[in-house]
Structure formats: C-alpha cells, structure tokens
C-alpha cells in the first residue's frame, strides 16, 4: 500500500544534477530529502565497463527517445538515448569531462547575472573534481571533490597519431583540456576510477545513501506535481510504497532537458495554446517552457584502418579478464579518447567545431558492432543557430512529449559542419595519421565536393547527446526560471539540470550540469536561511 511521506525537499530525477543535490542537501542532518528516480538501480555490469556503454542503449536503462522527423536531415527520426537509472546519463555516457569555453559561461552571466559568469562559476567545477592525472603548477582542476577524473588509462596507438596530426596541422597543444580557453587539442579527461566508470551516483549519491535523512526511491516515476494554488506541495509517483511525497520547502525538478519541461507542461505550466492543444489546463502561463532546445549535432568521418590496432574486437576473453582483474586494457577506453576544439573561421573568438577522435568505427551509436578495423573523427557543431522545442502530446505522464530539435533549420549550421569536415580531412591527410587509414566507410563519402558532402551530412548526422535550454534561466521576465533557478509564477518549485542552461556550451554537458547543481545546492541552502 502506498504511503504519504513528508520531506523538506523532494528531488525528481537521479541523474547528474539530482545526485549532486541529494548528496549536498542531505549533508545537513536537520533536513529530510527524498530522491525519486523512475529507472532502476545502476547494477548492470556494462555500466562499469567504459567501452561497453553502447550496450546500455535501447535497454531498460535508457529512455530510448525518438525525435520528430527532421526536415533538414532527410526527414529522419533520430534516436536519442538518455540515462534511465541511478546516475542518469552519467551512467550511460562516454565519460568525457569537458567543461566548455570561458565565453560560454560569460554568456550565461549576461543572461542570468554575473554569478554565472566564468570567473565566479569555475569554482563549482573545482568543487566537484578529484583529478588523478599530472598537474602543472597552475592546474585548473580540483583535487578534493566527489568525482574522480583521470586521463585515459590506455590510449590506443592511433590516438597518439591523431594528437601528432593535430600538432602537425598547427593546432595548439593544451596543457590541460579544461583550460578557460580550450582552443586546441588534448587527450580526453574521463570520469573513471581505477579504469571503471565513476558516475554522479558513485560520487555523490552512494556515499550519502546511508544517511538517515535521505530516502532514495527507484523504479518510481513521478506522474504528477502536486500544487496548493501555485505553490508546489509535493509529487505523486508510481512504484512500490511511494505514492505521495510531500515537500515542506521545495520540489526540485532534475529530470533533464526532456523530462523537466514535460513535468511542467503536464502540471499546466507552459504556453497556454500549446497546453490546450494537448488537452491540458493552464496553471501558470509561461510560453518559453519547452522552447530554446539546442543540441550538438555530429557527423562521423569514418575510414578503414589497415592495421589491426583499433578497438574493433577488443572484447576478447583475455581483455575482459584484464579489465575485471586489474582495471586495465582496451575496455577502459571511453571510445572518444581525444578531442580538438577548432575555429573554422579565423575571425571567431572561440571554437565553433569540436573533433572527437575514436579509435574504432563508431556506427549507429555503437549499436552496430564493428567488423572491420577503422577510426572515426566526429565533427560536432558546437554553437548551433538552429533551435527546437519539446511539446506535450496529451495529458498524463505516459504521453511522451514531441521532441523536435530543429536540426540544420539555419543554413549556416550546415556550412559550419562542412567546414569542420574539411578540417578533419586535413588531419587525416597529415603524415602522422596517414598510415592508419585507407578507404572511407559507414556512410562517409570521402573527399568530395561541398554539395555531395552536404547531402551526406543530411543523410548521416546524429545527436551527440547534449540537449539543453528548455527551461532556460534568465533575469528577463520571459525566462522559465530566474537566476536562482526558481520557476517563475510559482512558489517552492525549482529546476536544476541542463534544461536551465541559457546557451549550449562548447563542450559536453555532464560537467556543467554537475557544476550547476553544486551552485544550485548552495542557492537552495541560502534561500532556506532567509
């Protein structure tokens, strides 16, 4: 039988942000915290094996979303994996700890106030970090935080060739990838400990799980937000022994760029016309809920490798044994072993393209096991002008929202991707990489004219798994959340996840989401003292 339970804070979603909030808020023994996660516990062995993350896709540990047809991508519906377990996407991703560029956070500061600008915000990254690699005298990394971060444990031989090619093409060798200006190239810092994945659940939640003031509910989907007028009073969740969870201080949504706007819209917070079209009544008119969706679009430059040295076939019994016994070997690879941040036009102040190097043919999100040796340079559009939207499709938590990223709606985005592919091709032509590739494969047509390449991009580009912006924060009245992440028009309701980012970062979204949640925990404690 379900029970009513009362807490100070009820957090919805145990992903990168939710785990941080649960860990930090429950540090105060005087408050009671509930964390509600719709997915299961993170016990599947593949979660721990870095190179095995694609094996989690399209399983019960994945929300397994599909976008609306994308007109600029040949009317394709794209697969969007999102973590559906403790740790959320930090238990499902490629473990890349990539903060972004100083300019990203200075833009946040312009949108939401100076406390979000780089110089004020960078300490929240350092608060989270426990860096295990070499440290120059003025390292950017923290060393005492809950999240283990380390260099790749066993980079592939071809990864060194990629770095040499970057150097040969005149790119800047970064001392540390996460410098304030990350224009250049480096190995990828990864969320690993002794060769195994280290998720937000590992770093923040599990050390806190035994605290008597923290209750963690798994396999419990929130079906409704409860309100007393416009004040959030709690949540209703399904699952064994959950029922209604009441919040005396705040309900905090940490369900991500899809889940958080969906919960708001289902509660009647959103654009009135959009809500009415889905059969939903309006509680609070907030037209920007679900809008400003941005994501990093990626195109794979994949070529055969004539030498049998890549990750293809790495899951041999011997390598599995090396991993299980010593945390060593190729299975410790996060697949995206190195990156380069580049400017496709010299007048740019910051990079507009990221090149992610993978020593394997990464095809169909890794769902198609490679049968040949090959390498991939993922070309990522860092600052898309195109924006999309999350919209409700009907009342009830079971009605999945419509996800329309609006990829390549702005023609300039396609031009930038074409320019990025040309830079990747220059790296492949460098003497350092030339011995490790031959014919194009997996949809990449090789060096062709711009028109043919543009058609290939439209036919083959995919998400890099970084949706943001659908509950954007700001100081303007039109923003969904204010500069303290409180939902405008309501009381005791806050959103803390990638959906509040007013601009997408030139990096990956796990690190900024963790840092954002670290800051949010501080804001929540400050507000509780008022």
φ, ψ dihedrals at 227, nearest 5°: -130, 145
Residue tagged active-site, from 182, 466, 503, 508: 466
Q: Please tell me what DSSP assigns to residue 199.
A: -
The structure tokens listed for 56 are 């989690």
Q: How many helices (H) and strands (E) does the chain have?
A: 12, 23
The structure tokens listed for 95 are 């473990």
Q: Which residue reads 């794209």 in tokens?
A: 78
- Torsion over CA of 338, 343, 349 and 352, rounded to 10 degrees? -70
Alpha helices in 360-488 (DSSP H): 411-429, 450-460
Q: Cβ(381)–Cβ(416) under 8 Å?
A: yes
The structure tokens listed for 23 are 């860990």
Burial class, 479, CB count within 10 angstroms (exposed 0-12 / middle 13-18 / buried 19+): buried
Q: Beta strand pairing status for 5-12 and 243-253?
A: parallel
Give the SS3 label for residue 12: strand
Q: What angle do CA 291, 293, 299 make, to 5 degrees?
A: 155
Q: Is 466 a catalytic residue?
A: yes
Q: Cβ(186)–Cβ(173) under 8 Å?
A: yes
Q: Please tell me what DSSP assigns to residue 108.
A: H
Query: How far, in Å, are 221, 371, 504, 519, 528 from residue 125 at the CA level?
Result: 30, 39, 17, 9, 23
Phi-psi group of 467: left, alpha or beta (phi > 0 → left; psi -120 to 50 → alpha; rest → beta)? beta
The structure tokens listed for 519 are 């800051």
**251 has which bridge partners?**
10, 493
φ, ψ dihedrals at 176, nearest 5°: -140, 135
Active-site residues: which are they? 466
């Amino acid at each position: 039988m379900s029970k009513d339970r009362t807490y100070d804070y009820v957090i919805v979603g145990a992903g990168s942000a939710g785990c941080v909030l649960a860990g930090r808020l429950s540090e105060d023994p005087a408050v009671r915290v509930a964390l509600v996660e719709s997915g299961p516990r993170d016990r599947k062995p593949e979660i721990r094996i870095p190179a095995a993350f694609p094996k989690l896709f399209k399983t019960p540990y994945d929300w397994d979303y599909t976008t609306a047809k994308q007109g600029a991508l040949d009317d394709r519906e794209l697969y969007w994996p999102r973590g559906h377990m403790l740790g959320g996407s930090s238990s499902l991703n490629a473990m890349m700890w990539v903060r972004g560029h100083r300019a990203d956070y200075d833009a946040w500061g312009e949108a939401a106030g100076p406390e979000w600008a780089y110089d004020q915000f960078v300490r929240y990254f350092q608060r989270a970090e426990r860096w295990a690699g070499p440290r120059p005298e003025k390292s950017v990394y923290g060393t005492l935080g809950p999240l283990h971060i380390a260099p790749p444990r066993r980079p592939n031989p071809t990864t060194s060739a990629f770095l040499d090619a970057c150097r040969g093409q005149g790119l800047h060798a970064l001392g540390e990838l996460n410098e304030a200006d990350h224009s250049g190239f480096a190995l990828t810092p990864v969320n690993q400990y002794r060769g195994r994945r280290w998720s937000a659940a590992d770093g923040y939640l599990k050390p806190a799980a035994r605290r008597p003031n923290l209750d963690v509910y798994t396999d419990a989907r929130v079906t409704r937000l409860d309100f007393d007028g416009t004040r959030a009073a709690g949540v209703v969740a399904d699952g064994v022994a959950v029922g209604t969870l009441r919040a005396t201080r705040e309900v905090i949504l940490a369900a991500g760029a899809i889940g958080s706007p969906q919960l708001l819209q289902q509660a009647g917070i959103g654009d009135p016309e959009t809500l009415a079209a889905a059969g939903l009544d309006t509680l609070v008119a907030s037209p920007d809920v679900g809008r400003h969706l941005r994501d990093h679009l990626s195109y794979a430059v994949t070529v055969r490798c004539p030498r049998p040295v890549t990750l293809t076939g790495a899951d041999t019994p011997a390598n599995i044994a090396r991993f299980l016994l010593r945390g060593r070997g190729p299975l410790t690879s996060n697949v995206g072993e190195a990156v380069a941040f580049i400017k496709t036009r010299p007048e740019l102040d910051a990079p507009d393209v990221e090149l992610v190097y993978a020593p394997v043919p990464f095809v169909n999100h890794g769902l198609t096991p490679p049968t040949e040796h090959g390498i991939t340079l993922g070309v990522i559009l860092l600052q898309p002008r195109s924006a999309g939207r999350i919209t409700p499709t009907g009342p009830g938590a079971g009605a999945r929202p419509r996800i329309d990223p609006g990829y390549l709606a702005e023609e300039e985005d396609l031009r930038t991707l074409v320019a990025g592919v040309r830079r990747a091709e220059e790296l492949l032509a460098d003497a350092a990489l030339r011995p490790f590739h031959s014919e194009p494969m997996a949809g990449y047509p090789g060096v062709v004219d711009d028109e043919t390449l543009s058609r290939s991009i439209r036919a083959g580009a995919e998400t890099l798994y970084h949706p943001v912006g659908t509950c954007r924060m700001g100081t303007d009245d039109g923003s969904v959340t204010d500069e303290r992440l409180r939902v405008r028009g309501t009381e005791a309701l806050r959103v803390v996840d990638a959906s509040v980012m007013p601009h997408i970062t030139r990096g990956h979204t796990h690190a900024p989401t963790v840092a954002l949640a670290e800051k949010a925990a501080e804001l929540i404690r400050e507000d509780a003292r008022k």
